[in-house]
Structure formats: structure tokens, C-alpha cells
Structure 1
Amino acid sequence: MTTDDLDTPLRPAVLNNALFCHAVCRAHGLPADFDDESLWLSTSRTPPLYPDAVTLGPGAPEEGLLRRMDTDSPGCSVKDSFADLDLEGDGFEVLFDAQWIHRPAGAPTAGAPSSGLEWSEVAGGGELALWEAAWDGEESTGLFRPVLLGEEIAFLAGRRDGRIVAGAALNLAAGVVGVSNLFAHDDADTDAAWTGALAAAAARWPGRDVVGYESGDDLATAVRHGFTPIGPLRVWLRTSERTRRLDVQPAARVDRMNSAR
């Protein structure tokens, strides 16, 4: 996979996110890989909350995508990075819609530096398990493996009285810094989490733009912190057996069913 033609903020945002998904899946030993410049895909079911495929450009071929995915296992999902797929006739429904976001390096933030949180990077498997439990709100399931910790991925913990109450994941890829899994609990707020994440990103990788995706109130909060929405995305979740569109002819219907495993 190359980073050619990354001349707009949208393409680096999409590729950065796909590379983080790739890192998480490879940490679980899954056979995930990139298919030229149009698709990232795992042929085995991915960990919870992670897609089985991510489109990297508009107009991704739906049949080629579905034929190679494990659509028989519960929870199969597709991150439709340009919101241009139609998978309803294949047993999928829209899980959510969101907007890719981009923040140029040095953009002003609307944070609360006096929030009282102490920020640091997670170091080691024990701290990562505590971070995941705080992010999950209940317990660590081993979703994030210690092998992820390194020069290009960092998990940030905002602590109050020694307890993790806020955090985010950062990854450097495609020339930009991606922010994901941002959370805030108890009396910490999302503004404080964004302030901590952006400060850490600027300190660790100065001069880099920051990208991610958000929706609803979280999108409004990101905009307050200097982000701009740059394009829609959609996540599809397989919820039923493959159904047929009424306008599909019988011969084509058989061919499509055969190609879907």
C-alpha cells in the first residue's frame, strides 16, 4: 500500500484509520492486508468494534469485497469510508454515520488546561489493561495488545487521584496523527480529553495534522477544538441473511449468491 495521491486531507484520514485497524488486527494474529489502493480487509472475523473491511477510495467493488469477507459470522461489518456503498440487499444495515475530521497543525483549541488531570502515555501491558478497562467502562478484554505500544502508536491516560478517568489513542500513519477511542468519565469532560490528546500529539509529533472521525455532539466538540468535517463515512453491520433486491434478475441473483460464499 502506498501513500501516493494523498493530496487532500480526506485520503490521509482514511488511510490513517485503516492502518490503525490493521495494527489492531495484526496484533491479534489475523490475516489482514491491503488490496492495492482500494481496500483494507481481513478474511477472518475481526475483534469487537473493529471492521472486517475499510474502503480506501470511492467506488469500491461491493462483490469483490463481500466475497472475501467472513459474512457468516455474527458482527461482520464494513467501514464505508466514502458513504457510497449500498449493502442493504446483502443483509447489512447502517450502524452509524459520521464525518471524517481534520485539524491543521497549530490550530487553536478550546480546551480546559486547568482540568486537574495528569496526562501520561501508557507504558506496558498492565497499564494498557487498566486503560482499556477505563475506556470500556467495565473491564479489559484484551482488545488492545501490548505489542501495539511503540513509536507510532500511543495510548494516553488522563488521571485524577491516580485513577484513569480520560484517555485517547494516537497513531502516526499516512503523514498525519489519528485520534481515536477518546473518552472521559466521572467529572472529567470531553473538552479536557481533547485538550490532553491534542497537546500530547503536538509534543510527540510536532507539525503534524490531526485526523479522526466523529458524529453528533462529539463532532461539535471536535469542531470547537479546531477540527473541520471533511467528508462522510458510514459503518455497515450484517444483521440478517443475504436478501435480494427486487430489481435483480434471477441469473444475476444466483451469481451474486454464489460469489458471497
Structure 2
Amino acid sequence: MINESEWAGAAARNNAEWCDEVCRAHGTPGEFRAGAWSSARRTPPLYPDAVTLSPDVSAADLVARIDTASPGCSVKDSFGCLDLKPLGFEVLFEAQWIHRDAGSAIPGAMAPDVVWEPLKSADSLPAWERAWNEGEEGDGLFRPELLTGETTFLAGTSSDGRIVAGAIASRGVSVVGVSNLFAAGGPAADEESAWAGCLTRTARLWPDLPVVGYESGTSLDAAVRQGFTPVGRLRVWLHTG
């Protein structure tokens, strides 16, 4: 039986692979080596410059691989064990890796007037990003190249054709990672029904794969109510000079 620390490691690896996909789509691929994924060039907004894959990675070695001179440099400390403060970082937030067994029952109910489907073309990406960005026009963070790999953008569409909920599912070798889950709120979609819709569609696509991700605060509470188990703490550090 896989223990919690192993699930945390699997979730961290899946997340690093997703970060690398985003960077590759922007023409700035990172590399996997010595206990971490890292990018020598600044990554797209909201994405870390490094993700640790082992609790034994050296903080100094890790920071030497990334561009701390550019504003916004960050590190995802997947095991919550690094002390990056002496290297000019501050904790931006903490969260929990989460895991859900394949085939588990889904406690929540999908909103009855919302249909969940994968995006089928790049033409739908701007509307998806706008909905994810709380109605604000996006800046092309999610590139069309992301639709051709192991990544699926899930959209919950209301009866009037609006995207009111969504998530990104990134398939790895042994797990599916769910990230960027959102719900517009109101009668059409909330976080509970968004999880139910996302998990229902994910189970249809990959019925034999467990689901992993990370959440914090009330979003973590919602995930736990949908059958997830917290399996380990992570920290995101921001370089402040």
C-alpha cells in the first residue's frame, strides 16, 4: 500500500510535469535533475521557477538553478522542509497535497443545468481563461499547445452556453493531477458542484487512475468533502530580494 509521503511525492511529480508543460508552451522549458524540476528562465505568471521532488534537495543548489534577479521568482517546496529565508525568500502561502483513490464514490452532486466536457479546440481557450480569471480578459497564459499533450481542459457549461466552472486535468503515468478548479458561483455552479462535475468527468476519462492535487483553506475543506485525503504539506516561497 502506498503511504501518504509517497502520494505527496507522486502529486509533486505530476505538478512539476504540468509546470514544465506550461513553460514549454511558452518556449521556456525547464529540466528535471537532482531532486527537483527547475527553470533557468523566469516562468509564466503564477507558475513556480522550481518544484522540489525530494525532501533532501539542497536549498542553495536549488536556488542557484533559477533566476532570482527577475521579479516574481518563486519555489514550490513540495515537502515543506526548506528554509529559504536566508536566501532572500518569504513564504507566500502553504497548502496540502491531496489524494483520492480511483473508483471512489463522488459524494457531491453536479449542478443539474451544467454540462461538463473537455475543450475540443483552441478557439475555446480564451473563454475558458476568462471564466477562470473571474470574468477578466486573459493574457494567453494557457497556450493552444497545451491541448495536444497529456492535458485536458474541462469546462462546465450552463444551459445558456456560458462556461461557469472548470478545471485542468493533467495525466501522468500513475495519477491524474487536477488544478485550477473554479466555479462562477450563484445558482449555476459552486465549488462543491464543480468538484463533483470535474471528478465525474475525470473518472470517465481515466477510471483506473487516482486523482491528486493541492488545495488550502476553504478549497481544501471542499476537496475533503469530495473524498480527498490530505497527504502532506507544501510551501510556496517568493523571492523578495
* 1:212 corresponds to 2:209: no
Q: Superposed, which structure 2 residues align to 1:193-212 within 5 Å?
A: 193-212=194-213
- The 2-side partners of 1:156 and 1:72 are apart by 36
How far is 1:60 from its partner?
A: 1.1
- Alpha-carbon distance change, 98 to 7 in structure 1, aligned in 2, over 3 angstroms: closer
Is the Cα contact below 8 Å between 2:102 and 2:208 reproduced in 1?
Answer: yes
- The 2-side partners of 1:142 and 1:96 are apart by 25
| TM-score, normalising length: structure 2 | 0.93
* Selected match of 2:87 from 85, 90, 105: 90
* Selected match of 1:70 from 67, 73, 77: 67
Counterpart residue number, 1:185: 184
How far is 1:150 from its partner?
A: 3.1
- The 2-side partners of 1:17 and 1:152 are apart by 13
- The 1-side partners of 2:233 and 2:173 are apart by 19
Q: Superposed, which structure 2 residues align to 1:1-261 within 5 Å?
A: 8-36=6-34, 38-137=35-134, 138-150=136-148, 152-160=150-158, 161-187=160-186, 188-239=189-240, 241=241
Is the Cα contact below 8 Å between 2:5 and 2:231 reproduced in 1?
Answer: no
Is the Cα contact below 8 Å between 1:157 and 1:166 reproduced in 2?
Answer: yes
Q: Which runs of 5+ in 1 are unaligned?
A: 1-5, 242-261
The amino acid of 2:109's aligned partner reads A
Q: Structure 1 runs of 4+ off > 2 angstroms?
A: none
Q: Which runs of 5+ in 2 are unaligned?
A: none
Deviations 1:202-223 (A, max 9, x none): 1111111000000111111101
- Alpha-carbon distance change, 151 to 24 in structure 1, aligned in 2, over 3 angstroms: closer
Is the Cα contact below 8 Å between 1:115 and 1:192 reproduced in 2?
Answer: no
- The 1-side partners of 2:5 and 2:222 are apart by 26
Is the Cα contact below 8 Å between 1:15 and 1:174 reproduced in 2?
Answer: no
- The 1-side partners of 2:81 and 2:167 are apart by 29
How far is 1:110 from its partner?
A: 2.2
- Alpha-carbon distance change, 135 to 114 in structure 1, aligned in 2, over 3 angstroms: closer
| TM-score, normalising length: structure 1 | 0.86
- The 2-side partners of 1:35 and 1:114 are apart by 43
How far is 1:10 from its partner?
A: 1.9
Is the Cα contact below 8 Å between 1:112 and 1:192 reproduced in 2?
Answer: yes
Number of residue equivalences? 234
Deviations 1:182-209 (A, max 9, x none): 0001311001111111111111111110
SS in 2 for 1:129: helix
The amino acid of 2:61's aligned partner reads G
Which 10-residue stretch deviates more, 87-96 or 42-51? 87-96
SS in 1 for 2:148: coil
Aligned-pair RMSD on alpha carbons?
1.4
How far is 1:125 from its partner?
A: 1.7
